[in-house]
Amino acid sequence: MTTHTARPIEPMALKELRTADDADRPMVPVTDEEGGSPLRCCLRHSEPGESIALVSYAPLRRWAAETGADPGPYDEQGPVFIHPQECPGFEGEGVPFTHSHRTVRRYSTDGRILGGRLVERTDALEAAFTEAFADPEVALVHVRAVEYGCFLYEVRRG
């Protein structure tokens, strides 16, 4: 039974990223000939021939702006794939992108890293979230790909 839900990039942030990304570069749409790129706007893989864009995204910075946290040196930005136009967003529940090893990185309310966990089996993500949120200091977690360290999605308390 799934008790945690992945959070795609928020619609307002997507609107901003489609103009200029978090590194202040304009979005450049491309055709994904092969498909399979992990889209952070709708939390699914792209289809062959679909239009996508690779943009720089700073998830912790954006969360900190909402909450007043100061992540200091933990603020980072990295590449994410999005649709270059509005899309339906995440239409599922639970957690996507479970086909490979993942890192569940924990953050405190002030934006500091509290540790993380390597998740080697897809059925272990829920347990990693439950373990993370059992610590009252954990405000949110980021799920990242092990291969490149890319941000995949966020899960928040509650």
Give exposure, 76-109, as e/b (b: 16+ Cβ within 10 Å): ebbebbbbbeeeeebeeeebbbbeeebbbbbbbe
* pLDDT value, residue 158: 67
Last residue of a domain, one of 82, 113, 139: 82
pTM of the model: 0.91
Q: Do residue 18 and residue 64 come from a single domain?
A: yes
Residue 89 lies in a domain: no
Q: Considering its fold, how many domains does the chain have in total? A: 2
Q: Do residue 58 and residue 119 come from a single domain?
A: no
Q: Do residue 77 and residue 19 come from a single domain?
A: yes
Residue 93 lies in a domain: no
Residue 96 lies in a domain: no
Residue 117 lies in a domain: yes
Residue 36 lies in a domain: yes
Domain encompassing residue 140:
102-156
pLDDT by residue for the chain (158 residues), tens digit each?
Answer: 557 888 999 999 999 999 999 999 999 999 999 999 999 999 999 999 999 999 999 999 999 999 999 999 999 999 999 999 999 999 877 788 877 789 999 999 999 999 999 998 777 888 999 999 999 999 999 999 888 888 999 999 86
Q: Do residue 118 and residue 60 come from a single domain?
A: no
Q: Do residue 75 and residue 117 come from a single domain?
A: no
Distance (Å, rounded) from C-alpha 95 to C-alpha 113? Answer: 21
Q: Cβ neighbours of residue 138 under 8 Å, at least 6 residues apart?
A: 106, 107, 108, 114, 132, 157
Residue 26 lies in a domain: yes
